Amino acid sequence: MKLLHRNFLFLFLILAPVVASSQQPDTVVINNNIQLIHLKDSFFVHITSDYVEGFGMVSSNGLLVIRNGNALMIDTPMDEAKTTELLDFLRDSMHTEVTLFIPGHWHNDCIGGLEELHRHNVFSIANEMTRAECIKRNLEVPKASFSKSIQWSFCGIPLECFYPGAGHSLDNIVVYFPEQKILFGGCLIKSAESTSIGNIADADVQAWPKTLKKVQKKYPNAEIIIPGHGSVGSFEIIEHTKRIVLLTSTLSF
């Protein structure tokens, strides 16, 4: 852990001149389209920007948990090129290799770089519904799967993957780290600044509020919540998401 903190401090001192003064001091700019934000301990949000038809420029969030030169990645950037850039930065500047990957669901803002991860011999595990969707749609397929939930530890850091039900997609999961009280909600959860439900092409809007209630009930101690897009928030953004979804559901009738 001391080595990680030393590496991060050294990394930040090198990159400080390219970090805009308006940004937080724990933000590392890799390039114009990729950033890392240090949350706490060895947890980093990776943020990538892409042009999405119908939505314009969109920033997408993923999570990195780094320990002893190994990294767990939750969600990749949308494409292989940015995934490669992120992997190269982790290797060259943070002396870290991604060894485990978990996707939040089957969309490309979660698995767009999965093929690149597999070329680097990264082990991937997903909700069995996500794996089935990848097979059905002829996408790169995660190597292993779980049903409903799975608990284990990554380099001594406990975590739980949990499928609470349909929402943004039929297969979306959340990942919780109980010691850090960090919940990766992915696209199931909207950021505080979000006013729109976003892409619902594969959503179940009617089931979404019930799914959110399951997350609230299961992880009431979560303090840091990472949505799929937008700013990291607190427990309140789950309720915020519920209001957006319920409004969308009401207007659809």
Question: Which residues have a catalytic role annotated?
Answer: 105, 107, 109, 168, 187, 190, 199, 229
> What is the C-alpha separation between 89 and 228, in angstroms, rounded?
22
Question: What sign has the CA pseudo-torsion 217, 223, 226, 232?
Answer: positive
Contacts of 41 (CB under 8 A, 6+ apart): 1, 180
What residue type is 47 in one-letter code? I
Alpha carbon separation from 197 to 210, 214, 246 (Å, rounded): 16, 19, 10
Count Cβ atoms below 10 Å from residue 85 Cβ, excluding itself. Answer: 17
Going by C-alpha positions, the residue among 142, 141, 138, 159 that lies closest to residue 150 is: 159
Show the beta-strand stretches assigned E in 79-154: 97-102, 123-127, 144-146, 149-154
The DSSP output letter for 54 is: T
